[in-house]
Amino acid sequence: MSTGRSRSSTSSPSDERAGAAQTGRYARSVADDVPASALAVYAHPDDAEISAGGTLARWAEQGTQVWTLITARGDKGTSDPDADLEALAELRVEETAKAVALLGFAGHFHLGYPDGELPDDQSLRGAIVRHVRELRPEVVLCPDPTAVFFGDGYFNHHDHRVTGWATLDAVAPAAGSPHYFPEHLREGLATHEVRAVYLSGTLEPNCWIDIAPTLERKIDALYCHASQLRDTGDWFRDFMRERSETAGAPVAGVRYAEAFRRLTLGG
Ligand SMILES: [Zn+2]
């Protein structure tokens, strides 16, 4: 999320997820497989936590190596016209470090693009491919870039859409092909095939992860991003519980969930 406002206005995606599931248009499943490693590629410093923090924390406590790759700086995540944007960008890296430590992740990386100026170009794709080839994750998570309009009150942020498309293009075919970014291979990196992609913030979910064991820790991690909270009262904890409950509602036996569109690659 880029601002406190956008955070508080994202309840509609959950409603959309619930609606899609109830129509029966998609194969539904509660997933319990745990990958050996996962790379979460998101736009702003708190996006990975808010989109998939419960899932990533569950996996991490079961042994998954989890990294986040943040494409934008989060430097415009303030409504104060006099804010020091450089200082905010630095603060947001520190907040990310606290959240990542709390969730048990292996590390976090930042590409440092200014908020709102993320280009869907070879430079961005190459940077993501490089991280995929270096870290060699079994699965990759990112925003669903096709999800643009949510209900009648929210449309997806430019940085989320661009990060989603660039990550998909980086995963396949680029990371697995020696003919994309061959300079990486000359530097000693090898191609890498990602097994599955989990798209969050999707209108077409087919996979729910039960996050009951880690929901409170996910929320604690979001409190680490203090610069993005207008107040630190319990309203946000209640909001996140409610939102997670809505996401899990269509799947029997799961009270709190994160929903994804999961793509299994390579057959
Ligand atoms: Zn964001």
How remote is the CA of residue 184 from the centroid of ligand 1, in Å? 29
How remote is the CA of residue 73 from the centroid of ligand 1, in Å? 10
How remote is the CA of residue 3 from the centroid of ligand 1, in Å? 8
**Distance set, CA 223 to CA 22, 178, 230, 238, 262 (Å):** 32, 42, 11, 13, 28
Q: pLDDT-derived band of residue 225, with 50, 70 and 90 as boundaries?
A: very high
Residue type, 221: A
* The total number of structural domains that make up the chain: 1
Which are the contacts of 139, defined by CB distance < 8 A and separation ≥ 6? Answer: 35, 37, 38, 39, 194, 195, 196, 197, 198
How remote is the CA of residue 160 from the centroid of ligand 1, in Å? 6
Identify the domain containing residue 103 by its residue range: 4-264
pLDDT per residue as tens digits for the range 103-136: 999 999 999 999 999 999 999 999 999 999 999 9
Any idea which of 73-87, 169-183, 196-210, 225-239 has the lowest mean pLDDT?
Answer: 225-239
What is the model's pLDDT at position 212?
A: 93
Strands 257-264 and 207-210, how do they pair? antiparallel
How remote is the CA of residue 11 from the centroid of ligand 1, in Å? 14
pLDDT per residue as tens digits for the range 146-197: 999 999 999 999 999 999 999 999 999 999 999 999 999 999 999 999 999 9
pTM for the structure as a whole:
0.88
What is the model's pLDDT at position 170?
A: 98
Residue 25 pLDDT exceeds 50: no
**Sole residue written with tokens 């947001």:** 92
CATH code at 170? Answer: 3.40.50.10320
Q: pLDDT-derived band of residue 230, with 50, 70 and 90 as boundaries?
A: confident
